[in-house]
Amino acid sequence: MVGRRRGRGLGMSAVVVGVLGLVLAVGAFGWLRSSYGVSTVGGDSMRPTYGKGDRVVWERVDGSQVRRGDVVVFTPPESYGFDAPLMKRVVGVGGDRVRCCTLVGSRERVTVNGEPIEEPYVYGGDPDGVHQPYDVKVPAGRLFLLGDHRANSLDSRFHLDEQGGTVSADAVLGRVTDDRAVPALLVAALLLGGVLLLTGVGLGIGFLAVRRRRAPEMPQMPWPVQPGGS
């Protein structure tokens, strides 16, 4: 009786732990995939913020949610000549007027709506880089994008004849984030779910082994006796 109860408890534990692990793993994987992406920086256009080979995490957001200063991953227009997503910084959003460059004191500055913007992230402190002036009114639903390494970035400045070099906000795949807490938590949940699932499988195997040991042996049938023998 005790062995039977023990075996039944082992079977119930296998089901509960296995199902819990499966739900946790599938849920964490689904949330992670639908909310975040990971990319490897392929060039130096975003130095010094991000260098070639850096792994970046980006959260999936609608293009209308990004703001000036955000670094975004986006699908480039055909004119860029790239099939893979690119990463640039948002300098202007719909309705902004972006101009380069205005001398403020002894420094050249990019201005947005007539106001010089602080760009501590630009490589070498140079907001221009290629000495190519521009004055762009960003259409609604579009973004003006620049790399942080202005002397080494293929960005909105080189496509000015196509809607001022702007990119559709719908092309945005996500916004780069340095906050790894939520993705790390989801990865931990995924791993825990996998461990619980494997544990459930192990308990299930143990249950089957106990059940097999408890199965009674069927008695062997005697050989039939032929009638009429003397």
Query: What amino acid positions are annotated as catalytic residues?
Result: 45, 88
> Within a 10 A sphere around the Cβ of 209, how many other Cβ atoms?
12
Beta-carbon count within 10 A of 188 CB: 11
Cβ–Cβ under 8 Å, residues 150 and 49: no
For residue 135, what are the CA distances in angstroms to 10, 80, 119, 172? 72, 20, 18, 23
CA–CA dist 166, 215 (Å, integer): 74
Amino acid (one-letter) located at 33: R
Which tokens is 29 given?
């994987």
Task: State the virtual CA torsion across 11, 15, 17, 21 in degrees, nearest 10.
Answer: 150
Between CA 121 and CA 198 the distance in angstroms is 46
